[in-house]
Amino acid sequence: MSVDKGLFNPRQTDTYDFYEGKPAPWNSEEEIERLVPTHCCYCGVQCGMYLKVAKGKVVGVEPRYDFPLNHGMLCPKGTTAYQTVNHPDRLTYPLMRRNGKNSPLERASWDEALDTIARRFREIQGQHGADAVAVYSGSSMTNEKCYLMGKFARVGLGTRHCDYNGRLCMSSATGANDRSLGIDRAANPISDMLHSDVIFVIGANVGECFPIVTSYLWQARDRGAKLIVADPRQTPIARTADVFLPLRSGTDSALLNSMLYVLITENLVDEDFIGARTNGWEETKAEALKYPPERAAKVCGLKPETIIEAARLYGQANAAMIYTARGLEHQSKGVDNGVACANLALATGNFGRPGAGYMTLTGQGNGQGGREMGQKASQLPGEREIEDPEDREYIASIWGIEEVDLPHAGYPATLMIPAMEREEIRACLMICSNPMVSLPDQHTVERALRGLDLFVVIDFFLSETCELADIVLPGNVWAEDEGTTTSLEGRVIKYNQAVEPPGEARRDWEIIGDLAKRLGKGQYFPYTSARDIFDEMRLATKGAKADYFGITYEKIEEQNGVFWPCPTPESTGTPRLYEERFGFPDGKARFHPIPYIPPAEEPDEEYPLVLTTGRVIYHYLSGNQTRRTPFLLEQAPCPWVELHTTMAQKLGINDGDWVTVRTRRGEMTVPALVVRSIRPDTLFIPYHYGHTQAANILTNPVLEPMNKIPEYKVCAASAVRAERAPDWAKDLDPELLKQARRSRKTLPSAGANVGPRVPGVPGA
Ligand code: SF4
């Protein structure tokens, strides 16, 4: 790749002096020309930052004090995010295979690449129908691009198969919000945490996955709030919890039902709120009364008195918040688990007030906006329904097409793979996604993608998935375009452009516009800027649940973000939902009884342990960016398996030994990290790595029945000491590995210094 490496300094981190608590003098040799206000490209917190620009390059970062969420803080990912912009691995020209699947990816011109794509898409659709081509989109990109991808699929390609990688993270939360509350957005801004008496975190590793949110937890604690944490691992925040519930993976709804049982039997429910603002209580109450703490304790692997203590603490609060994330949602019962959280909050009247609510912590940078802009299989912009006649008419009118020409619902991303396998889907355009790391049952995914007649990927690095593509188009990173995202709070914020894309790389919306022209649909995509797309998107969401109509780029900058719904130009947005009404036509929330159903796979003789997977602080999602950031890679250079001291002794495994972990899908060999901060019956492997290091070789592809999220967080597994290290270990510096293991063990989440005995965990 022809990249100017002159300004790329992988060792440079940032110019913020954490000890002095203020920006440090420039530590770059370059003369800084501009500070561009923008936001971190990684997690859903979307911290405010300035990018430092010198000689047309992004050379550093400053945290923003003026952004109300991070107040001058950034986590290790945020401080190094800028290093991806000038990275030598950036894709700077189109690549294509000219002589079939086994030929190499070779440099191509934009005309050659785009002409080939348009011709092949037309041929495939001519032969097999419009739905033979699918769009697989992403959520770590702006609202404008998410909106564009949904429109391009339905109007540019005329296919019903359009979905996105948020299917793998946010779809359980969406299902729960839609079923219980009627609006798919966080009920509260993060600052509400400071008004809570009790904070209940279940299935969310806040310290590692949303590091900056941790500061709100500590501030709330300083004001006297109590903390309850439920997690199979003693995560960093669990160390200081008032009540820690180290539950068995996949048993969340049994715990939540049992807490509701205690609230009911000890008269801690809010009958007035239930009567005035909800429906369906009696059925839910009857179901919860089947879960006395003694029964739930056996299911969850907890002590009954710990469940009672947690329930009392939660039930006696004036204002309590529940925070969840993928730990609770990455399950085949993920929607049920979210509904069970909402049941608890509704039963205690914990909605519509400062510090009272239930919200999911969104993982992807634009995991919120990405799920409301119309790129989901059954959705149109604004959280409109693709099968709703009025929604169809309205969006068709905005897009300038007839309603009959608007395709109906297609396959969610997780069902596209089997459709590719049976050759129903024969071509795919993918953007901002890396399923060769992120989807479960990797062997099947690889076979499906390799079998496509045409596989096109837009990306800025050659990801594991790009390696299988027939054509790769170089797109932009967040610093090279403007546009909006919607943070985990529901706050719409704006990225500002700092530099131009490198080499021949182009902005993604320009690539899509050019492709539309070549498909004869250019008149529907006349945009000359991201702002043009945003303005159309505002109209498309007008009057919908996720109403952005009153939001403008100027208002976002003036207000430091705008919470949707913002229905009119005069509106300043809606930071807290449900103060008077829930999102259903009668304004009332809905209880749903949630019977506990075990995970799809439970331990047995052959696979006696439970495997769970997740993130670590140093990496983001599939690691496509963070594994290219030297500082982050050094901290976590490869996956490992965390296992408890007791289990390690039983299996004859020492810290640092190579261990082979097996499930019914496959096996992988990784180093052991022996800790006391995990249930003895549980293994944990981080999922940020590719090829033979991908934890998703092992995970169970079973899907949640309604919203089709895979069960990443629980499957049956075995672990044995390996005879030898895997081949990839040859490329690892043993000293670095040792240092990373040491660093991980002194991180409180896994550390040797976790101190107190884990209550309720046998053998701890
Ligand atoms: Fe970026 Fe999230 Fe870290 Fe903030 S907390 S710096 S948004 S990764």
For residue 74, the ligand 1 atom closest to its alpha carbon is: 6
Mean pLDDT of 655-665: 96
The tokens describing 208, both together, are 């590692």
What percent of the chain lies above the pLDDT cut of 90? 87
Radius of gyration in angstroms for the set of CA atoms belonging to the chain, rounded to a whole number: 25
Picking from 235, 285, 298, the residue whose alpha carbon sits closest to that of residue 257 is: 285
Cβ 213 under 6 angstroms from ligand 1: no
Put simply, whether the predicted model's pTM sits higher than 0.85 gets the answer yes
Helix axes 413-421, 442-450, angle to 10 degrees: 60
Cβ 43 under 6 angstroms from ligand 1: yes
CA of 152 to the centre of ligand 1 (A): 30
Cβ 47 under 6 angstroms from ligand 1: yes
* Residue 330 scores a pLDDT above 50: yes
pLDDT of residue 235: 92
Nearest CA to ligand 1 atom 6: 78
- What ranges do the domains of the chain cover? 5-84, 95-168+367-527, 171-360, 609-748
Nearest CA to ligand 1 atom 2: 43
* Residue 8 scores a pLDDT above 80: no
CA of 45 to the centre of ligand 1 (A): 6
Domain 609-748: CATH architecture, name and number where available: Beta Barrel (2.40)
Ligand 1 pocket mutation, candidates 16, 38, 79, 212, criterion most atoms within 8 A of CB: 212
> What is the DSSP code (8-state) at residue 651?
H
Ligand 1 pocket mutation, candidates 77, 80, 362, 493, criterion most atoms within 8 A of CB: 77
> What is the DSSP code (8-state) at residue 764?
-
Q: Which residues contact 686 (CB under 8 A, 6 or more apart)?
A: 613, 614, 615, 616, 619, 636, 639, 640, 695
What percent of the chain lies above the pLDDT cut of 70? 94
CA of 84 to the centre of ligand 1 (A): 15
Q: Which amino acid is at 302?
A: L
Cβ 211 under 6 angstroms from ligand 1: yes
Cβ 75 under 6 angstroms from ligand 1: yes
Reported as a single tens digit per residue, the pLDDT across 56-103 is 889 889 899 889 999 989 999 999 999 999 898 999 999 999 999 999
- Paired sense of beta strands 48-54 and 34-39, if any: antiparallel
pLDDT of residue 762: 33
Cβ 77 under 6 angstroms from ligand 1: yes
Reported as a single tens digit per residue, the pLDDT across 212-255 is 999 999 999 999 999 999 999 999 899 889 999 999 999 999 99
* Residue 4 scores a pLDDT above 70: no
Cβ 42 under 6 angstroms from ligand 1: yes
* Residue 589 scores a pLDDT above 60: yes
164 has which bridge partners?
A: 137
Assign domain 5-84 to its CATH superfamily. Answer: ADC-like domains (2.20.25.90)
Ligand 1 pocket mutation, candidates 13, 18, 42, criterion most atoms within 8 A of CB: 42
Helix axes 293-300, 252-265, angle to 10 degrees: 160
Reported as a single tens digit per residue, the pLDDT across 406-442 is 999 999 999 999 999 999 999 999 999 999 999 998 8
CATH topology of domain 171-360: Dimethylsulfoxide Reductase; domain 2 (3.40.228)
* Residue 660 scores a pLDDT above 90: yes
Widest distance between CA atoms in the chain: 72
Gap between the Cα atoms of 457 and 470, Å rounded? 8
For residue 39, the ligand 1 atom closest to its alpha carbon is: 7
* Residue 27 scores a pLDDT above 60: no
Extended beta strands in 149-252, E state:
162-164, 198-202, 226-230, 243-245
Mean pLDDT of 585-598: 98
* Residue 33 scores a pLDDT above 90: no
Q: Which residue has the higher pLDDT, 750 or 559?
A: 559
pLDDT of residue 30: 53
Residue 744 banded pLDDT, cuts 50, 70, 90: confident
Cβ 685 under 6 angstroms from ligand 1: no
Cβ 78 under 6 angstroms from ligand 1: yes
CA of 513 to the centre of ligand 1 (A): 31
447 contacts 418 by C-beta, under 8 angstroms: no
Cβ 46 under 6 angstroms from ligand 1: yes
The tokens describing 247, both together, are 């539950």
Reported as a single tens digit per residue, the pLDDT across 119-154 is 999 999 999 999 999 999 999 999 999 999 999 999
Gap between the Cα atoms of 229 and 240, Å rounded? 9
* Residue 750 scores a pLDDT above 70: no
CATH topology of domain 95-168+367-527: Rossmann fold (3.40.50)
Reported as a single tens digit per residue, the pLDDT across 487-536 is 999 999 999 999 999 999 999 999 999 999 999 999 999 999 999 999 99
Measured in whole angstroms, the distance separating CA 739 from the mean position of its chain's CA atoms is 29
Ligand 1 pocket mutation, candidates 16, 18, 45, criterion most atoms within 8 A of CB: 45
Nearest CA to ligand 1 atom 3: 75
Write the burial class of residue 443 (CB in 10 Å: 0-12 exposed, 13-18 middle, 19+ buried): exposed
> What is the DSSP code (8-state) at residue 502?
S
Cβ 254 under 6 angstroms from ligand 1: no
Ligand 1 pocket mutation, candidates 71, 75, 215, 368, criterion most atoms within 8 A of CB: 75
For residue 620, the ligand 1 atom closest to its alpha carbon is: 8
Cβ 638 under 6 angstroms from ligand 1: no
32 CB neighbour count, 10 Å cutoff = 16
Gap between the Cα atoms of 447 and 101, Å rounded? 13
Nearest CA to ligand 1 atom 1: 78
Nearest CA to ligand 1 atom 7: 46
Q: What is the mean pLDDT of the chain?
A: 92
Extended beta strands in 525-640, E state:
562-563, 589-590, 609-614
pLDDT of residue 59: 86
Mean pLDDT of 206-210: 92
CA of 581 to the centre of ligand 1 (A): 32
725 contacts 700 by C-beta, under 8 angstroms: no
Mean pLDDT of 684-712: 94
Ligand 1 pocket mutation, candidates 13, 41, 47, criterion most atoms within 8 A of CB: 47
Residue 759 banded pLDDT, cuts 50, 70, 90: very low
CA of 81 to the centre of ligand 1 (A): 9
Cβ 69 under 6 angstroms from ligand 1: no
Cβ 212 under 6 angstroms from ligand 1: yes
pLDDT of residue 32: 82
Lowest-confidence pick of 23-27, 273-277, 555-559: 23-27
Residue 747 banded pLDDT, cuts 50, 70, 90: low
Reported as a single tens digit per residue, the pLDDT across 455-484 is 999 999 999 999 999 999 999 999 999 999
pLDDT of residue 745: 77
pLDDT of residue 296: 98
